[in-house]
């Protein structure tokens, strides 16, 4: 089954993520990250509109599972982001 991936296009306020605004922070959300889950809901088969609705409906905490492709083709997953 073919599907589309939901990528992070832009991080509007980095200081909410790590407090420093550093683009090279390893544990924070970055442009190009692939969203795998939003608050324990898989993004597989979700439209961008549905994904946005899940994110916007979060109350105090937004939990994202993301995959980051590294230059050598490996990937890393991370979770739990405070909602700003």
pLDDT of res. 62: 85
pTM, to two decimals: 0.62
pLDDT-derived band at 31, boundaries 50, 70, 90? confident
Rounded-to-integer distance, Cα 10 and Cα 51, Å = 15
pLDDT at 3 over 90: no
Asked if residue 31 lies in contact with residue 11, where contact means CB atoms within 8 angstroms, the answer is yes
Question: Which CATH number describes the domain made up of 6-13+28-82?
Answer: 2.30.42.10
Three-state DSSP at 6 gives strand
Using one digit for the tens of pLDDT, what is the confidence trace for 8-30?
777 776 555 555 545 555 567 88
Using one digit for the tens of pLDDT, what is the confidence trace for 38-65?
999 999 999 989 999 998 998 888 888 9
Q: What is the DSSP letter of 47?
A: -
């Amino acid at each position: 089954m073919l599907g589309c991936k939901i990528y992070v296009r832009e991080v509007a306020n980095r200081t909410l993520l790590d407090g420093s605004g550093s683009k090279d922070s390893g544990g924070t959300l970055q442009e190009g990250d692939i969203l795998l889950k939003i608050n324990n809901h898989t993004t597989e088969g979700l439209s961008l509109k549905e994904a946005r609705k899940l994110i916007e409906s979060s109350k105090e905490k937004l939990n994202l599972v993301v995959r980051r492709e590294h230059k050598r083709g490996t990937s890393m997953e991370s979770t739990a982001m405070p909602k700003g």
